[in-house]
Chains A and B, each alone.
Chain A
């Protein structure tokens, strides 16, 4: 069985992180979301993949190539304009001739669920029971059939969210061809499914045991935590004397962890990093390749993307930091409001009590910059010494 993975979208709500990469390439536990999905699917026995790319497609192609590294074969189809999920699937028309899986490239599911879904023989959509259906499409079911597919709605008729993972037969391409544009001006696969239901065709559903949906940048942090929870220790780098390592910690090639560092897993560190001396890495931290975490730096529950430097006297908690950033000595990120209320980012209530900052690529800060909770800093922004940053900062800004 083949699997089509949809990785063409930008994911507006993930800006500024998606200005320079497609949503499916956002790193969680040091791997793109799409790779987690690919690994889960290949463990479930799927060996042939079609990745539909679009926005920044070269990154997907460069990273996954022909799939040799994972022992699978990958073909690509390009969706030139972002005209919705149904249109994306249509790009793979002619590349599949049997029933096949379709997976949104920006969700996280596990191997067991994929195996079970793959063993179905008729059109099936997977669903996941959620507490909060805000920002999600929901599915109304009766017995083992789907009755109705709803877009995001204020009064959801069920708590089953559409998980964005499907089993289709090639007939779906005929239905896609008949699918009209949605009010958003796109061709949605949910409309195709509704079209099937309207014409009396059966659509089954499968309830996933595990599912993570990533809509906003801060959703990456719980996903990161969940995926780090299952790692095992591995050291491909060098650990100097007098380093304390507790819990599972993975260290990549050519990475050096210098004396006096205190690492509490789960923590994952990429290749070619310089860690310490005398830094404190706390659970839930993922550090990409070529990063530098220097002395007297504390990092917890955060994603630090490749090439970023956090070299002296910094605190980074519950934050996402893009690639190639440099925090000046003493730059610190707050992660808890004094009144302990939910943290707002712009006008959005994150419903989180702890959240630091979301920082795009190539952001540089001067010494002793203070970054307030819930700050969102655009790419290529420069922040001068001693500045207090709050709120949303557009890309290419200068705060002096």
Chain B
């Protein structure tokens, strides 16, 4: 297999506020978008012809990946004007694909080893995996290594083998797509007409990202595999423990304490006396003032954190400005997304461009929309819509 079609057009409604201004594949983990990890895994398996089906906010994909030189791949872009479904997205790429190809989602964390064997299989084939909670996914019924059917989000099931959304296909699939919109439906139709689809199971990393706090799980997973590398300026008296990456042109000032795994981007100004603990990713051009402590969190580009903040298990998107003494503490809580309640241990989720004055406290599970402005000494819990003003 030499070619892969990556579906990168989706928005990811349930991940709001983080996907209000970017496509889901561009969610950043450890200073790199998820799609970057997917393309790297393909390249490591020798798949260097990449067709990216883009749509929602496609410019951000163009800006980051260009023609693919940086990652050593050749990228062809195909636009899906309306996000109607995975099969519809695949159909858009019909003119660009070869006889056999891999099709996969761009918003799952997939490691190279996960698809190493699968990438050499003959189509048609589906990569499947056993999970604890299959009812969130499409469950695949398998007999003697071949697929008998795929049941989307079953109410109950004793089968915990699910569809990873990674397929080895031939151009024949295009004959079956109309009028279906999603690939599993197309595959069921192919099965009904006597086509054989094999199932291949993996126990490698495959992480889906559905809810905002999933970003923290992915971050944790990615940070476990980084190689330490210190760059920029590290002043006297900075303690660096464990695996830490510091980018070019970043300054870490005296008496800061960094316990890896931690990734810090380039051009940041951190400290003095800042404490960053595992597992934390910090973007480019971030300023963190003295006496701020961050643990198990993801901080986006251009964020400015004032003095004396305590941030745990939280995600702060790019361009957020916090004047100081902000507290986002973590504990187990119930968070409501799409009328469903989820029991999670999480701090706060802040959308991009928010401006917080001094002394704001965010309760566990608070989800603050993009471009909110919050006055001094306010307490925030639950969900704030985009551009809210809290006075």
Closest to B231 in A: A394
Selecting from A234-242, A245-253, A318-326, A385-393, the interface stretch reads A385-393
Indicate which residue in A183, A185, A347, A399 contacts B234 across the interface (CB closer than 8 Å): A399
Would A394 and B230 count as touching, CB distance under 8 A? yes
- Interface bits A154-188 vs B (CB < 8 Å: 1, else 0): 00000000000000000000000000001111000
Would A393 and B229 count as touching, CB distance under 8 A? yes
Would A391 and B228 count as touching, CB distance under 8 A? yes
Indicate the size class of the contact surface on chain B.
20 to 34
Check A392/B228 contact, CB under 8 A, given A183-B46, A185-B72. Answer: yes
Closest to A385 in B: B236
Closest to B244 in A: A391
Check A397/B232 contact, CB under 8 A, given A184-B46, A185-B72. Answer: yes
A386 to B47, CA, bound (A): 48
- Interface bits B230-255 vs A (CB < 8 Å: 1, else 0): 11111110000000001110000000
A183 to B44, CA, bound (A): 9
Would A400 and B229 count as touching, CB distance under 8 A? no
A149 to B297, CA, bound (A): 48
Residues of B within 8 A of A397 (CB): 230-234
Check A391/B48 contact, CB under 8 A, given A384-B236, A396-B248. Answer: no
Indicate the size class of the contact surface on chain A.
20 to 34
Closest to B73 in A: A185
- Interface bits A214-258 vs B (CB < 8 Å: 1, else 0): 000000000000000000000000000000000000000000000
Would B235 and A391 count as touching, CB distance under 8 A? no
Would A396 and B48 count as touching, CB distance under 8 A? no
B267 CB → nearest A CB, Å: 13
Indicate which residue in A183, A394, A400 contacts B248 across the interface (CB closer than 8 Å): A394
A184 to B47, CA, bound (A): 9
Would you call B227 an interface residue if the criterion is a C-beta within 8 Å of the partner chain's C-beta atoms? yes
Would you call A116 an interface residue if the criterion is a C-beta within 8 Å of the partner chain's C-beta atoms? no
Residues of B within 8 A of A71 (CB): none
Check A347/B229 contact, CB under 8 A, given A184-B46, A185-B72, A400-B234. Answer: no
Would B248 and A185 count as touching, CB distance under 8 A? no
A384 to B238, CA, bound (A): 12
Residues of A within 8 A of B228 (CB): 346, 391-392
Would you call A398 an interface residue if the criterion is a C-beta within 8 Å of the partner chain's C-beta atoms? yes
- Interface bits B31-73 vs A (CB < 8 Å: 1, else 0): 0000000000000011110000000000000000000000011
Would B48 and A399 count as touching, CB distance under 8 A? no
Check A185/B236 contact, CB under 8 A, given A392-B227, A394-B230, A399-B230. Answer: no
Of A346, A392, A396, A400, most buried by chain B (CB within 10 Å of CB) is: A400
A265 to B290, CA, bound (A): 54
A397 to B247, CA, bound (A): 9
A163 CB → nearest B CB, Å: 24
Q: Which of B192-240 contact A (CB under 8 A)?
A: 227-236
Would B236 and A183 count as touching, CB distance under 8 A? no
A283 to B292, CA, bound (A): 52
A203 to B236, CA, bound (A): 60
Closest to B2 in A: A183
Closest to A392 in B: B229
Residues of A within 8 A of B46 (CB): 182-184
Closest to A182 in B: B46
A398 to B231, CA, bound (A): 7
* 21 A–B contacts, CB within 8 A, in A order: A183-B48, A184-B46, A185-B72, A346-B227, A346-B228, A347-B227, A384-B236, A386-B236, A387-B236, A392-B228, A392-B230, A393-B230, A394-B229, A394-B232, A394-B246, A397-B230, A397-B231, A397-B233, A399-B230, A400-B234, A400-B236
Q: Which 5 A-B pairs have the closest CB atoms?
A: A183-B46, A394-B231, A398-B233, A392-B229, A400-B235
